[in-house]
């Protein structure tokens, strides 16, 4: 194998596939990057136990790719990326000296890396699943920013560590929950067939990382029983999906309320952020509102107390008092896409609080109280 390429363009490709690689993989070959040079393109693959990324590079002015000899090799991902990052010059040459050693060179010098034969890389089934939907890059970023915070971190039920997508009657609902808070986004995609799938949070993050934030460019997504694929230009990201039954969350969203508060979110976020400084094991905050004053208090026997009041809000209904996890409420308020106001709706101090944007009902946040307010 022998090829020349633009160093920056090649490094970008290596960094893309490295997102799937686990340095401590029990399969030694999976700790490396598979380079496969064909007559007309370079194929670069990185894979872990549940995530695989494959990207292609073609000759062109930006890539500077020129393939002299086809071939393949597996090279340590960390060393390969660090070496290219620290090299000077615009171009780099990579060639195999035998099946398990590569020479990397440019005007800055010659370097060799021990590797493994390319044909020892585990076979990865990248067969395209049948169900097809299209999202924009912007929608994928919104799923990450608005939902991923509610995914479970330490939960033993794997399905709670991902974002659940379900299509029914032409409406796609995306939900994340760890049983203590919930985030839900509704997308009007009108796909042709119904489906349900739970996507690992890490896989969504990797897909978003390869996309500009505000692009309206359509992204092809293929959904199967065991895998999901994101096709982003010349890059394919394939993830295993979580098996198991995702909880029926609709009944967790309160339908009746006795109190409604509409408030500017930024001031409330600052108050909660300060209150959470008083946390120990759990950031316990008290929220009370009598219609004239909204008060947030936090107490810590080893630090001190925090008492803050807010008066600029619209109130309807009965006075409310609730004990909440301040961090959970803070994350929900930061994630909801609202610039002007948010609406918080309460049934009582025992029941979950529902948070929405009055100008956009496609996103719903729910936070479960720690215990009843006094």
What CATH number is attached to the domain comprising 355? 3.10.150.10
Q: Beta strands 162-168 and 195-200: pairing type?
A: antiparallel
Domain co-membership, 176 together with 226: yes
Domain co-membership, 7 together with 102: yes
Question: Closest Cα to residue 252, out of 190, 197, 181?
Answer: 181
Task: Give the mean model confidence (pLDDT) for residues 225-250.
Answer: 94
Give the whole-angstrom CA distance, residue 112 versus residue 105. 9
Domain-located, residue 100: yes
* Length of the chain (residues): 374
Q: Across the chain, what does the average pLDDT equal? A: 92
**pLDDT of the residue at 373:** 40
Domain-located, residue 81: yes
pTM: 0.89
Give buried/exposed letters for 128-150 (b at 16+ CB in 10 A, else e): ebebbbebebbbbbbbbebbbbb
Banded pLDDT at 194 (limits 50, 70, 90) = confident
Tally of domains within the chain: 3
In this model, does residue 374 exceed pLDDT 60? no
Q: Among 250, 278, 303, where does a domain finish?
A: 250
**pLDDT of the residue at 102:** 97
Domain co-membership, 259 together with 346: yes
Domain co-membership, 54 together with 67: yes
Task: Give the mean model confidence (pLDDT) for residues 343-352.
Answer: 94
Task: Give the mean model confidence (pLDDT) for residues 315-335.
Answer: 95
Task: Give the mean model confidence (pLDDT) for residues 158-171.
Answer: 90
Contact 31, 63 (CB under 8 A): no
Domain-located, residue 239: yes
Give the whole-angstrom CA distance, residue 123 versus residue 47. 10
Domain co-membership, 65 together with 26: yes
Give the whole-angstrom CA distance, residue 52 versus residue 47. 4
Domain co-membership, 175 together with 213: yes
Domain co-membership, 331 together with 367: yes
Q: Among 120, 155, 186, where does a domain finish?
A: 120
Domain-located, residue 293: yes
Tens digit of each residue's pLDDT (9 = 90 or more) over 110-148: 999 999 999 999 999 999 999 999 999 999 999 999 999
**pLDDT of the residue at 211:** 86
Domain co-membership, 58 together with 98: yes
Domain co-membership, 361 together with 259: yes
Domain co-membership, 33 together with 103: yes
What is the sign of the dihedral through the CA atoms of 148, 149, 150 and 151? positive
Q: Among 94, 120, 146, where does a domain finish?
A: 120
Which backbone phi and psi does 144 adopt, to 5 degrees?
-70, -50
Question: Closest Cα to residue 228, out of 153, 156, 140, 121?
Answer: 140
Give the whole-angstrom CA distance, residue 44 versus residue 341. 47
Domain-located, residue 126: no
Domain that holds residue 138: 131-250
Give the whole-angstrom CA distance, residue 226 versus residue 243. 8
Domain-located, residue 111: yes
Domain co-membership, 61 together with 89: yes
């Amino acid at each position: 194998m022998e090829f020349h390429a633009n160093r920056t363009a090649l490094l970008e490709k290596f960094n893309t596939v490295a997102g799937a690689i686990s340095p401590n993989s029990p399969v030694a070959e999976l700790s490396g990057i598979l380079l496969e040079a064909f007559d007309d393109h370079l194929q670069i693959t990185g894979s872990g136990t549940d995530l695989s990324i494959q990207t292609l590079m073609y000759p062109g002015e930006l890539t500077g790719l020129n393939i002299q000899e086809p071939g393949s090799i597996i090279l340590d991902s960390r060393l390969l990326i660090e070496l290219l990052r620290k090299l000077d010059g615009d171009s780099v040459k990579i060639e195999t000296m035998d099946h398990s050693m590569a020479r990397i060179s440019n005007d800055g010098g010659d370097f060799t890396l021990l590797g493994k034969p390319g044909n020892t890389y585990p076979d990865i089934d990248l067969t395209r699943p049948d169900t097809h939907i299209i999202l924009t890059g912007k929608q994928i970023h919104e799923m990450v920013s608005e939902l991923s915070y509610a995914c479970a971190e330490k939960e033993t039920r794997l399905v709670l560590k991902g974002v659940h997508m379900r299509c029914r009657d032409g409406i796609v609902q995306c939900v994340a929950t760890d049983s203590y808070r919930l985030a839900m986004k509704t997308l009007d995609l009108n796909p042709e067939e119904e489906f349900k799938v739970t996507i690992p949070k890490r896989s969504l993050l990797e897909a978003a990382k390869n996309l500009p934030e505000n692009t309206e460019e359509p992204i092809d997504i293929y959904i199967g029983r065991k895998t999901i694929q994101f096709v982003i230009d010349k890059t394919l990201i394939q993830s295993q999906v979580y098996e198991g039954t995702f909880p029926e969350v609709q009944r967790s969203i309160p339908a009746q309320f006795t109190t409604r508060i509409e408030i500017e979110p930024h001031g409330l976020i600052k108050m909660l952020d300060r209150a959470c400084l008083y946390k120990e094991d759990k950031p316990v905050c008290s929220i009370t509102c009598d219609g004239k004053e909204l008060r947030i208090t936090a107490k810590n026997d080893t630090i001190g107390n925090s008492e803050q009041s807010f008066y600029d809000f619209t109130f309807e209904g009965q006075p409310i008092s609730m004990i909440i996890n301040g961090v959970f409420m803070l994350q929900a308020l930061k994630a909801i896409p609202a610039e002007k106001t948010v609406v918080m709706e309460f049934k009582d101090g025992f029941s979950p609080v529902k948070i929405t944007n009055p100008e956009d009902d496609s996103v719903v946040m729910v936070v479960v109280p720690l215990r009843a307010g006094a």
